[in-house]
Amino acid sequence: LAFWEAQLTNQIVGTVPSRVRAVEHFAGVRTDKSRELLAASLASDSFYGVRAEAAKALGKSKGDIARDALLAGLTQKDAKVRRACATALGNFKGDDNVQTALRKKQVEGDISYFVESSVLSSLSKVLDDPPVDLLITALDKPSHRETIRLAALQELAKSSDPKVLDV
């Protein structure tokens, strides 16, 4: 454990691949200590790729520590990290804090279309039923290569609501 922690926190070697391997190691160790290490990596690693991998690992790990780190990650500077956080939050079905944060992020929008589409997908996953009205509204939002519309349509296809048939 000490070796992996040192590798993740850049105390030895410090290469990106070694930090990613450490993230992968801690993804399989579902303890609060490993979640705290992953959360610290998500918050402060110097390379966005390591932060994005930490977000994915936290999504698989679950728990309050993971959830809180991912919610904080929605405000990261790099869009790829925000997208990874939004996607990972889709694993927290039924969590009121996640639902509230994703709804807020969806209303605020994001400069990245990929983040917005990930927010739509994750919001549909964490709710009991896909938010049909919200998804139909999202169909009106233009984006590069129809990224947002595609996410909305994919989530609408999972709904049994009769309104979807008209769309």
Rounded to whole angstroms, the Cα distance separating 23 from 152 reads 31
Which tokens in the block code for residue 71? 């919610």
For residue 21, the Cα-to-chain-centroid distance in whole angstroms is 20
Give dist(CA 38, CA 31) in Å, integer: 11
pLDDT (average), residues 2-24: 84
State residue 11's pLDDT score.
Answer: 64
What is the pLDDT, as a whole number, of residue 23? 94
Do residues 16 and 47 lie in contact, with contact meaning Cβ atoms separated by under 8 Å?
A: yes
Q: In terms of pLDDT, which residue wins out, 2 or 127?
A: 127
Alpha-helical segments (H) within 45-112: 48-61, 64-73, 79-88, 96-108
Predicted confidence (pLDDT) per residue in 118-129, tens digit: 999 999 999 988
Residues making up the chain, counted from first to last? 167
Per residue in 109-119, pLDDT tens? 999 999 999 99
Write down the pTM of the prediction: 0.92
The pLDDT value recorded for residue 73 is 97
Give the model's confidence band at 130: pLDDT under 50 very low, under 70 low, under 90 confident, else very high.
Answer: confident
| CA 10 – CA 50 distance, rounded (Å) | 12
Name the least confident of 19-23, 29-33, 106-110, 128-132: 128-132
